[in-house]
Structure 1
Amino acid sequence: MQILQTIKETRQACAKARASATKPTVLGLIPTMGALHEGHLSLIRTAKKQCEIVVATIFVNPTQFGPNEDFSRYPRTFASDCALLEAEGVDILFAPSVEDMYPTSTSRTFIEVPGISDRLDGLSRPGHFRGVATVVAKLFHIVSPDRAYFGQKDAAQVAVLRAMVHDLNFPVEVIVCPTVRDADGLALSSRNQYLSPEERTRALALSRSLGNATAQASKGTHDASQLKSAILQDLQSTPTLKIDYVEIVDPTTLEPIADLQAGALIAVAAWIGKTRLIDNALLSATPPHQKITP
């Protein structure tokens, strides 16, 4: 595995690898902020099956963190991350410095996706998706991937990036892979390591509430407000859990919906102690007036 730190050498390495490739879908990109877990590795394994060259990135992007968020303490485990990536057969790891990605103290050009980036996490974390869209666009320009891989857990991010790719005509296919969970249902996240054992137990309320809502939907409940009330009741019964949001939205636009029959994204975010976690469930469309038997 090549470990590269500058934009110039990464562009050159990706171009060289592409020139010698033989598969139609040549290069797959997995952008990460490090602190890797099985969720990240599942993206890499999918990319390995579909692409001849796999490029991963590790960059804790300062522009997607707010002034009082956890940028300074975000887990940084570069040595162990490299070992995991090499074991999975990643070809190129791009791990730039902040100075290389943002060479001036004040970055003047950003990408925003109005109408989507200010919903869900974008509403709770103003400017977050501007930072995400900007850094991903920069990575697309540097690596020139055919496909880029993201996890369903970050559903709002996926909606923002799909819109960006469409609107700016990036020649990149966005591939979304299922959320990976621990055996008890907790969605894997680099921030899970912030949790104490007691907090981790309380964090299961997120996946439990989504599971209950999904079960209700599968039995024919199509009223979004009814499901939202049930989720809120589930979460409010958990001690010390502070709800950030519970929303049932269109997965593409992130706009609230009233009826689930056309499909829906059920998204939740909550604070467990000092740790903010997100989770979601994606419901498939169902024919009108037809109930799904579990």
Structure 2
Amino acid sequence: MKIFTSKSDLKSYISSKKEEKKKIGFVPTMGALHQGHMSLVKKSVKKNDVTVVSIFVNPTQFDNKEDLVKYPKTFEEDVKLLESGSCDAVFVPSVDEIYGENVISERFDFDGLEHQMEGKFRDGHFDGVGTIVKALFKIVQPDVAYFGKKDFQQLQIIKKMVEKLKMPIKVKGMPIFREEDGLAMSSRNTRLTPAHREAAPFIHKTLKKARKKTGTKNVKEIIEWVENQFKKHPLLELEYFIIADEKTLQTAESFNATKRYRAFIAVFAGEIRLIDNVRFKNN
């Protein structure tokens, strides 16, 4: 497995592989890798000739600078995991290598996708995501890029960016990888206190119960039920629970049999913010 820190060296490597007609798979990450990330790497290795993984904690997508500072960094462990997963190349650039002296986001228009859910609570977040993913796509020039559906809004936004910029890249969304108790895997999970870690599976359990109510309850009633569940919980604080159209991410007011819906949730477990989502069955 090759490790690259410079754009030029990685581009030379990619060019040589492209000349050999190799298909390039790409998994962008911020490190602190877990089995959720590795499920993406495994898929890429299976479906492509060359798999590239990037490790870069992107400063422009953090609205909370303290969260940026505290984001877990486990480079040596990450490299061992990637080697065991048959990854071919790892790109580990510095902030200077990506941004130079101008560490600011480009401004994007994602046709309104950026104004929903996370966009309402994390100012400038998706401009930061668009900026780094666009930059990485230009460097790596993958045929296929893999993203987890835990960050479903991010996935839709990246698909929209690729569509609008006419990039020749397939963006694949992969299933959420969960702990045995249902908690969606996240690098932030390592920062949970033992009590909050024990409480956190309540999030996914509540989503599953809410999904079962689609046959008997309307959208408003389901939202109220979820909000009440968290009001009674001593350790978890609900930031939002939304049922939205999967394609537009617009908040649903009622169920329409011709559309697909997904429920999205953000919860504070102490200082740690956790997100999750599940697809809702059509009513």
Is the TM value for this pair above 0.5?
A: yes
Find the counterpart in structure 2 of residue 237 from structure 1: 232
Q: Distance in 2 between matches of 1:236 and 1:152?
A: 27
Q: Distance in 1 between matches of 2:85 and 2:105?
A: 37
Find the counterpart in structure 1 of residue 199 from structure 2: 202
Q: Distance in 1 between matches of 2:105 and 2:123?
A: 17
Q: Distance in 2 between matches of 1:255 and 1:47?
A: 31
CA deviations over 1:222-269 (Å, ceiling 9, x no partner)? 622222222222222211322111100012211011215322010000
Equivalent positions of 1:1-294 (< 5 A) are 1-21=1-21, 26-107=23-104, 109-217=106-214, 220-221=215-216, 223-257=218-252, 258-259=254-255, 261=257, 262-285=259-282
Q: Distance in 2 between matches of 1:215 and 1:222?
A: 9
Find the counterpart in structure 2 of residue 289 from structure 1: none
Structure 1 residues 51 and 221: alpha-carbon distance in aligned structure 2, compared to 1, 3 A threshold:
farther
Moved over 6 A (4+): none
Given that residues 143 and 168 in structure 2 are in contact (C-alpha distance below 8 angstroms), is that contact kept between their aligned partners in structure 1? yes
Q: Distance in 2 between matches of 1:88 and 1:211?
A: 31
Given that residues 6 and 97 in structure 2 are in contact (C-alpha distance below 8 angstroms), is that contact kept between their aligned partners in structure 1? yes
Q: Distance in 1 between matches of 2:164 and 2:143?
A: 17
User: What is the one-letter code of the residue matched to 2:224?
Assistant: S
Q: Distance in 2 between matches of 1:7 and 1:110?
A: 23
Q: Distance in 1 between matches of 2:156 and 2:38?
A: 22
Given that residues 239 and 266 in structure 2 are in contact (C-alpha distance below 8 angstroms), is that contact kept between their aligned partners in structure 1? yes
User: What is the one-letter code of the residue matched to 1:55?
Assistant: V
Q: Distance in 1 between matches of 2:200 and 2:53?
A: 29
Q: Secondary structure at the match of 1:72?
A: helix
Q: Secondary structure at the match of 1:256?
A: coil
Structure 1 residues 221 and 205: alpha-carbon distance in aligned structure 2, compared to 1, 3 A threshold:
same
Deviation at 1:94, TM superposition (A): 0.5
Q: Distance in 2 between matches of 1:98 and 1:74?
A: 15
Structure 1 residues 45 and 6: alpha-carbon distance in aligned structure 2, compared to 1, 3 A threshold:
same
Given that residues 224 and 260 in structure 1 are in contact (C-alpha distance below 8 angstroms), is that contact kept between their aligned partners in structure 2? no
Q: Distance in 2 between matches of 1:109 and 1:235?
A: 37
TM-score under structure 2 length normalisation: 0.95
Deviation at 1:146, TM superposition (A): 0.8
Deviation at 1:21, TM superposition (A): 3.7
Q: Distance in 2 between matches of 1:180 and 1:58?
A: 19
Q: Distance in 2 between matches of 1:150 and 1:215?
A: 27
Given that residues 113 and 249 in structure 2 are in contact (C-alpha distance below 8 angstroms), is that contact kept between their aligned partners in structure 1? yes
Q: Distance in 2 between matches of 1:6 and 1:179?
A: 31
Between stretches 2-11 and 105-114, larger displacement belongs to: 105-114
TM-score under structure 1 length normalisation: 0.91
Deviation at 1:80, TM superposition (A): 0.5
Deviation at 1:66, TM superposition (A): 1.3
Q: Distance in 2 between matches of 1:212 and 1:260?
A: 20
Deviation at 1:114, TM superposition (A): 4.6
Q: Distance in 2 between matches of 1:190 and 1:108?
A: 23
Given that residues 65 and 128 in structure 1 are in contact (C-alpha distance below 8 angstroms), is that contact kept between their aligned partners in structure 2? yes
Given that residues 266 and 274 in structure 2 are in contact (C-alpha distance below 8 angstroms), is that contact kept between their aligned partners in structure 1? yes
Given that residues 60 and 105 in structure 2 are in contact (C-alpha distance below 8 angstroms), is that contact kept between their aligned partners in structure 1? no
